[in-house]
């Protein structure tokens, strides 16, 4: 059902773009041009899948729902401190290789700072 998939994609995009402010359920269905019943069904479906949180809010003297995305857009900031970016062993590092991300203490420490592995300082030296 391409129409439904397209509608779901647009709805999720709207909710994602609303960020921490969230979007009123009614604003979502108005923007999408669907009925309140269709909009509610979509919101419930997203909530069941765990991709959207529905919070009951008082708006204009009436109780309604605001929708909040449970996922965040991926940005370059999310990997800017990854040790692999400046690792000199990158070309030797792959699954089954001399080195492997599966056993790298630096990568593990970056992913989970609570591990016992040492943290590394990734200050990039300026080129001379």
Binding residues for ligand SF4, rule: CB under 6 A, are 83-84, 87, 89-90, 93, 99, 101, 104, 106-107
Residue 57 or 90 with smaller CB distance to ligand SF4: 90
- Given a contact cutoff of 8 angstroms between Cβ atoms, the answer to whether 92 and 48 are in contact is no
Residue 57 or 79: which CB sits closer to ligand SF4?
Answer: 79
Which residue, 14 or 99, is less far from ligand SF4 as judged by CB?
99
CB of 77 to ligand SF4, least distance (A): 18
- Least Å from the CB of residue 68 to ligand SF4: 33
**Closest alpha carbon to 41 in 67, 63, 13:** 67
Nearest distance in Å: CB 83, ligand SF4: 4
Residue 4 burial by Cβ neighbours in a 10 Å radius (0-12, 13-18, 19+): exposed
Is residue 69 helix, strand or coil? strand
Task: Specify the residue, 26 or 105, whose C-beta has the smaller distance to ligand SF4.
Answer: 105
* Phi, psi (rounded to 5 degrees) for 93: -105, 110
Output the smallest distance, CB 88 to ligand SF4, in A: 8
Q: Counting Cβ atoms within 10 Å, is residue 26 exposed (0-12), middle (13-18) or buried (19+)?
A: middle
């Amino acid at each position: 059902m391409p129409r439904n998939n397209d509608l779901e994609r647009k709805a999720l995009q709207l909710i994602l773009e609303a960020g921490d402010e969230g979007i009123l359920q009614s604003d979502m269905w108005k923007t999408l041009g669907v009925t309140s019943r269709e909009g509610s069904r979509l919101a419930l479906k997203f909530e069941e899948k765990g991709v959207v949180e529905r919070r009951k809010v008082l708006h204009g003297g009436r109780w309604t729902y605001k929708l909040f995305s449970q996922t965040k857009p991926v940005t370059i900031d999310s990997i800017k401190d990854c040790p692999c970016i400046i690792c000199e062993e990158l070309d030797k590092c792959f699954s089954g290789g001399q080195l492997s991300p599966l056993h790298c203490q630096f990568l593990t420490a970056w992913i989970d700072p609570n591990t016992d592995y040492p943290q590394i300082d990734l200050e990039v030296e300026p080129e001379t």
